[in-house]
Amino acid sequence: MLNISNNQLNKKVSLETYSAFKKVHTSKYSKYFNRFLGLFALILIITLFLPWTQNVNGNGFVTTLSPSQRPQTIQSPIPGRIESWHVKEGDYVKKGDTILHISEIKTEYQDPLLVERTNEQRQAKSRSVTSYQGKIKALQNQASALMNERKLKLSQAENKLKQSLFKVKSDSMDFKAAKTNLDIAERQYNRTVTLQEEGLKAMTDVEEKRLKLQETQAKFISQENKLLASENNVLNARLETNRITAEYSNKIAKSTSDRFTAESNQYEAEAQVSKLENQSSNYTIRNAMYYITAPQNGYINKAIKGGLGETFKAGEKLVGIMPANYDLAVETFVAPIDLPLIHLGEYVRVQFDGWPAIFFSGWPNASFGTYGGKVVAIETFISENGKFRVLIAPDTKENKWPKNIRVGSGAYTMALLEEVPIWYEMWRQLNGFPPNYYKPHVDNVKKNKS
């Protein structure tokens, strides 16, 4: 009681007469209270030196260990219109079961005989390819025949050229002989004229020699004409050889050009056949896409597109499915400052939403209702929430995770680090320091991974 009033009550009223005053101001209770304070201080001091397990907290949700086991939506690779549903929400479907039937909405694919007509076009083009192949073979035979004919013609022309060359040699020799005879006749005529002038020869001898000279000159001129004619025949034979070479070269070139044109047309027809085969295969595959089937065993979660006659675009979500068989995992997020403290194979305690638990973060052995996990993946790039994603799988050495947990449920995780005194942890928390840098022993990590 504060005695700040001018009217002090303790001076007017005696407090010893009250039982409450007697109980409070008794030395016995003061002694007990002091013992209590001492014991509390002792317990507090001892508690400060108790071991405390540092940890990294994270909030996440339940997911699956394999990406193929996670909830997914089924899309149609082609646009269409819903014709009929074969399932309802909550149904169990096996892989390959038909979920819904759709129809075509694009005009270029609405022909019911599109595949058959495309196959007919492909067959017609295939026959065209066969025709071009026959034409190419005929042109090749034609070119071979022309080459053989050119070879024979050139042989004939070369033989004629050789005959002409031999004729030139023969006529040349006759020409030289005629020239020699002419020279002899001229000398005899001149000698006879000289002797006649001297009176040693008669005039008749001169006339005989003149006649013989003229005959020799005539033979010389005739032999010269034959030689020129033979040389002309040589030129004609050479011209004929060149003409045959040029003529058959043009014919062979034209045949080769026609063959190349036929080959080009053949390749173009083959390309069109391949294109039609591709179109036929695409149309066949597209027809199979009119039935949307289940990619794996699972349960139909939600029909995103409902009703009949509703149209949709390619790649638009139609229905959601949850795989029937999956391995649970927890996807949690840690702050960048705590990322160096997380290692593959480390143990983590997990608390699931909706499952009662008494959790002491610093004393995991005294916790109740938590389950063991092990780090199996650490994301190397920061997520949109500014934290790093960590994937946790169940610890096979501890109790199994609850069977009724569903994918998407919330989860609270704690990665256990080093043990430190409580006073050190309080000092660290008050100063805002991160947990001690922790790197597990190599043998322990290998053992955890195994």
**434 shares its domain with 296:** no
Least confident of 11-20, 101-110, 112-121: 11-20
Q: How confident is the model at residue 231 (pLDDT cuts 50, 70, 90)?
A: confident
Strand locations in 368-426 (E): 371-378, 388-394, 410-421
Burial 308-338, CB ≥16 within 10 A → b, else e = eeeebeeeeebbbbbbeebebbbbbbbeeeb
Q: How confident is the model at residue 97 (pLDDT cuts 50, 70, 90)?
A: very high
Distances (CA, A) of 383 to 71, 221, 328: 20, 115, 21
pLDDT value at residue 436: 59
- Residue at a domain's end among 284, 306, 335: 284
**247 shares its domain with 303:** no
**219 shares its domain with 244:** yes
User: Under a CB-based contact definition with an 8 Å cutoff, are residues 83 and 444 in contact?
Assistant: no
**442 shares its domain with 407:** yes
| Residues 6+ away with beta carbon under 8 Å from 164 | 230, 233, 234, 236, 237
pLDDT at 158 over 50: yes
**333 shares its domain with 296:** no
Residues in the chain: 450
> How many C-beta atoms surround the C-beta of residue 200 within 10 A?
10
In a domain, 174, yes or no: yes
**268 shares its domain with 354:** no
In a domain, 434, yes or no: yes
Q: How confident is the model at residue 9 (pLDDT cuts 50, 70, 90)?
A: low
Q: Is 90 helix (H, G, I), strand (E, B) or coil?
A: coil
Residue span of the structural domain in which 298 resides: 72-104+290-323
- Residue at a domain's end among 299, 323, 347: 323
Please count the structural domains in the chain: 3
**345 shares its domain with 370:** yes
**77 shares its domain with 128:** no
Helices 203-288, 114-198: axis angle to 10 degrees equals: 170
The residue-averaged pLDDT of 147-153 equals: 88
**What six digits make up the tokens of 113?**
């005989």
pLDDT at 55 over 80: no
Residue located via tokens 């305690």: 349
Q: How far apart are CA 407 and CA 65, in angstroms?
A: 11
**319 shares its domain with 332:** no
CATH number at residue 64: 2.40.30.170
In a domain, 25, yes or no: no
pLDDT at 386 over 80: yes
In a domain, 233, yes or no: yes
Distances (CA, A) of 362 to 52, 233, 338: 5, 122, 17
pLDDT at 382 over 50: yes
CATH number at residue 167: 1.10.287.2610
CATH number at residue 76: 2.40.50.100
In a domain, 33, yes or no: no
**97 shares its domain with 214:** no
Q: How far apart are CA 60 and CA 408, in angstroms?
A: 9
| Nearest Cα residue to 55 out of 348, 449, 388 | 348
432 φψ region: left (φ > 0), alpha (ψ -120 to 50), beta (else): left
**What six digits make up the tokens of 272?**
């069109």
The C-alpha R_g of the chain, in whole angstroms, comes to 59
> How many C-beta atoms surround the C-beta of residue 394 within 10 A?
20
**What six digits make up the tokens of 339?**
């990322």
Residue located via tokens 């790649």: 315
What pLDDT, in 10s, does the model give residues 177-205? Answer: 888 888 888 888 888 888 877 777 778 87
> What are residue 350's DSSP bridge partners?
371, 413
**What six digits make up the tokens of 129?**
């390819």
In a domain, 278, yes or no: yes
In a domain, 270, yes or no: yes
**130 shares its domain with 203:** yes
**276 shares its domain with 333:** no
What pLDDT, in 10s, does the model give residues 58-69? Answer: 888 899 888 888
In a domain, 39, yes or no: no
Write the DSSP string, 255-276.
Answer: HHHHHHHHHHHHHHHHHHHHHH
The residue-averaged pLDDT of 245-271 equals: 89
Q: What is the mean pLDDT of the chain?
A: 82
- Total-model pTM: 0.57
Q: How confident is the model at residue 358 (pLDDT cuts 50, 70, 90)?
A: low
